A and B are shown apart, each in its own frame.
Chain A
């Protein structure tokens, strides 16, 4: 499964209570809309670790990396250049 789809699946199941009808776009503001709160950020960090083997340092926990599906995908791709092969 592609990186973006794995992250999307996590967000839908964990932050949207499995609501697949939600129109989750690449640029939907996850933080600014409250879909992901501070607890959700920690859960997301754990997910990125388990799913992609990424250790997210505190200095990377920024809105610029976490506020949308597109930004999250870019962040993972930057951290793991070969991740698209996963």
Chain B
């Protein structure tokens, strides 16, 4: 099939039937679990996974768990509840703020932020981690800057030193790992399985937390590009608010898109270029189809390959010495 914008089009009905078959076989026959737990974030991926779980087991054998913490947008929980109601699924909220505070998650993060911005005040300032936005044009490297915004003041950005970067990430990863802990509590209490929500982008490029959101019994959409997840969302009747919402990290106190935090391109463009890389389509051919220069496509090829290579550790299972 020649490369073009059509290459990521799927038949959502057929794809749903396939996933439902695998979910049923794996969870009921292989794992002998009676239902499914889905951590529901208010974003597109967990919404689609909830829809697939409902198709597989029926709403009465699915539990949605919403796990906000103090940096979460209130809109996330609102959208999640609306979707659970639409699907007829029981949804519970487990606020993780107190637990994370008990683990000193916020203090650890704040300490690292202050090493970069000594005047940082978490009661006033909003922070986020950002990458350069010139991937297409210049192919710049993935070096994070810390952005700090105070109401009424200008945004300030500084390149993160290694120690501060690692500490901020390690602290914020406590959020995803606490969510994993909580969904497994509810799964074990009911003899259910945990259904993961990682898509192909998150898994292959390492945009997940090992033993956090990467911790699940099955990953039903891990083989799908984000744009294909959206195709399933329409088929499964995901609420329009979630479909229309820009994907966010919902992890740091400032509003932040996933494009800004990690991917550096809009999903529709990135997915097509990534498909080209996956299928060894020459950069020049992709460039013609997408009205880009060959150099721009090569910049993205390089970035995708680098992200995949440098995050192999996250995808590795514990190794046994023989």
Give A contacts to B, CB under 8 Å. 31-32, 34, 37-39, 41-43, 45-46, 58-59, 61-63, 66
Binds A, one of B23-31, B67-75, B89-97, B159-167: B159-167
Q: Does B142 lie at the interface of the complex (its beta carbon under 8 Å from any beta carbon of A)?
A: yes
Known: A34-B310, A38-B143, A39-B166. A62 touches B138 (CB 8 A): yes
Most chain B CB within 10 A, of A42, A45, A46, A59, is at A42
Instruction: Determine which of B141, B145, B159, B309 lies in contact with A66 in the assembled complex, contact meaning CB atoms within 8 Å.
Output: B141
Interface string of B128-145 (1 = CB under 8 A from A): 000010000011111111
Task: Count how many chain B residues have C-beta atoms less than 8 Å from C-beta atoms of the other chain.
Answer: 20
Interfacial residues of chain B within 273-320, with CB under 8 A of chain A in the complex: 302, 305-306, 309-310
Give B contacts to A, CB under 8 Å. 132, 138-145, 159-162, 165-166, 302, 305-306, 309-310
Work out how many contacts link A and B, with CB atoms closer than 8 A. 55
B306: chain A residues within 8 A (beta carbon): 31-32, 34, 37-38
Q: When the two chains form their complex, are residues A42 and B310 in contact, meaning their CB atoms are under 8 A apart?
A: no
Alpha-carbon distance between A58 and B143 when the two chains are bound, in angstroms: 8
Q: When the two chains form their complex, are residues A38 and B162 in contact, meaning their CB atoms are under 8 A apart?
A: no
Alpha-carbon distance between A15 and B302 when the two chains are bound, in angstroms: 20
Q: When the two chains form their complex, are residues B138 and A42 in contact, meaning their CB atoms are under 8 A apart?
A: no
Known: A31-B306, A32-B302, A37-B310. A42 touches B140 (CB 8 A): no
Alpha-carbon distance between A36 and B272 when the two chains are bound, in angstroms: 27
B309: chain A residues within 8 A (beta carbon): 34, 37
Known: A31-B306, A34-B310, A38-B310. A58 touches B159 (CB 8 A): yes
Measured CB to CB, the nearest residue on chain A to B164 is: A42
Alpha-carbon distance between A62 and B145 when the two chains are bound, in angstroms: 15
20 A–B contacts from the bound complex (CB under 8 Å):
A31-B302, A32-B302, A32-B305, A34-B306, A34-B309, A38-B142, A38-B310, A39-B162, A39-B166, A42-B159, A42-B165, A43-B162, A45-B143, A58-B132, A58-B140, A58-B159, A61-B140, A61-B141, A62-B140, A62-B141
